Amino acid sequence: MQAGPIPATHTPSARRAPRASWWRLDRTDLYWLIALTLVAGLLRFASPIFLDIFAHPGSAAPISAWGICHDYQDPSIPGLGKPNDIAPNSPFLFDELYFANDAHKDLLGQDYFDPEPPLAKLIIAIGIKFFGFNSFGWRFFPALFGTALIPLMYLLARQLMAVRFFAIAAGVLTAFDGMTFVESRTAV
């Protein structure tokens, strides 16, 4: 009895092929995923980025980035934190006042009433646990999760359609969407 060739279904490359074809990813997709994630992460963690070289040439650093740990009501910045404001030195933006305090209460085991689902506060609480109760602590993990949303949208779009342009468009639109951008930079 002569042993014939091994069927193609029993080779190691044939076993890996369905998984690779299911993801529909190749090296170009990997480059797009990395590029979109880096751009989204830079925008979420470092912006607003100001080109001071045009506004005040030679007076300071050419580029300044406030980032997620900046106190946006700093009284030393002209026009911000005016003494007659309701909260002149508050580091909170929008509803961060409620979300960050509720997340801190979660860590302390204190009860509070909130009609909203707890996932956002639990994500914020992780940052407070690692970095302390400050603006960086309560904004870090929402920014991290917001950055992770971009490659997830790319992968989802790549699964829905085999056309790479569709996945790139989904990733770019998610990275630069105003609502996604603001919500992932603040602790809400």
What pLDDT does residue 151 have? 93
DSSP letter string over 78-115?
TTSS-TTSSSTT----TTHHHHHHHHHHHHHT------
- Give a yes or no: residue 148 inside a domain: yes
What pLDDT does residue 60 have? 59
- Give a yes or no: residue 72 inside a domain: no
What pLDDT does residue 124 have? 86
3-state secondary structure of 30: helix
- Give a yes or no: residue 85 inside a domain: no
In this structure, what token pair is assigned to residue 113?
């009433």
- Give a yes or no: residue 156 inside a domain: yes
d(C-alpha 157, C-alpha 168), whole Å = 8
What pLDDT does residue 108 have? 84
- Give a yes or no: residue 113 inside a domain: yes
What pLDDT does residue 37 have? 92
Total of domains in the chain: 1
What pLDDT does residue 180 have? 86
Low-confidence stretches of the chain (pLDDT beneath 50): 75, 77, 79-81
What pLDDT does residue 95 have? 74
Tens of pLDDT along 111-160? 877 777 888 888 888 888 888 887 788 888 888 999 999 999 999 999 99
Q: What is the pTM of this model?
A: 0.68
Quote the domain boundaries for residue 149: 26-46+92-185
- Give a yes or no: residue 165 inside a domain: yes
- Give a yes or no: residue 163 inside a domain: yes
**Do 64 and 56 meet the contact criterion of CB atoms below 8 Å apart?**
no
d(C-alpha 147, C-alpha 140), whole Å = 11
d(C-alpha 140, C-alpha 135), whole Å = 8
- Give a yes or no: residue 128 inside a domain: yes
